[in-house]
Structure 1
Amino acid sequence: MNEKGFTLIEMLIVLMVISILLLIVIPNITKHNGMINNKGCEAFVNTVQAQVKAYEMEHKQIPTIQQLIDGKYIKSDHCPNGHKIQINSNGEVSESGA
């Protein structure tokens, strides 16, 4: 018989190599995911800061987060990493933590 195909041993070796590659790749992806979310939060804070300035120019007062949401300047008061943002009395936007 001259059948062509993979033996069980060859298939097990391929599955072992794929498993090892997954064990190497998955921790790196999860580590970078947190870093990506933190960068996303920095960008979101900068965007909200620009919207605070726009609201201040239109209404001559520093807004609250709720005023920005109600006025459709922003859609959410949470960063991609889940942290809330806040606006201080000087109109500066910051991340307030978990």
Structure 2
Amino acid sequence: MKNERGFTLIEMMIVLLIISILMLIALPSMTKNNSLVKSLGCEATIDLVQGQVGAYEAEKNKLPTIKELFDDKYIDTTTCPDKKPLVIDSEGIVSVSSE
């Protein structure tokens, strides 16, 4: 007769307990960093759009609006990742709309 060994119920319960404890430690830090990621994503989007404002201005010799940048395919979004709309002021500076 072969002596086949497998995991016992106790061993499986210990492994599940360890995984549960690790998840309890990891999940709160992940959700806490979610807001930081969104704000950094918005900053990156603003920097990207600001660069495209410069490219548009160099090609067309005028400051664009967000709609012109989007319509001419310079950008593919007019909002930050958190869905706040972007605006370009009269000096060509990109920012988040206060609306």
Give the TM-score normalised by the residue count of structure 2.
0.83
Superposed displacement of residue 40, structure 1: 1.8
Rounded to whole Å, the distance in 1 between the matches of 2:20 and 2:98 is 37
Structure 1 residues 83 and 97, CA, compared in 2 at 3 Å: closer, same or farther?
Answer: farther
Query: Deviations along 1:2-46, whole A, 9 cap, x unmatched?
Result: 552222222112111111111111121222232122112111111
1:88 aligns with 2:80: no
Rounded to whole Å, the distance in 2 between the matches of 1:50 and 1:3 is 65
Aligned to 2:37: 36
Structure number with the bigger relative contact order (C-alpha 8 A, sep ≥ 6) is 1
RMSD of the alignment, in Å? Answer: 2.0
**Unpaired runs of at least 5, structure 1:** none
Aligned to 1:21: 22
Give the TM-score normalised by the residue count of structure 1.
0.84
Rounded to whole Å, the distance in 1 between the matches of 2:7 and 2:47 is 56
Q: Percentage identity across aligned positions?
A: 52
Which letter maps to 1:51?
Answer: Q
**Unpaired runs of at least 5, structure 2:** none
Q: How does 1:1-98 map to 2 (within 5 A)?
A: 4-96=5-97
Q: Secondary structure at the match of 1:86?
A: strand
Q: Alignment length, in residue pairs? A: 98
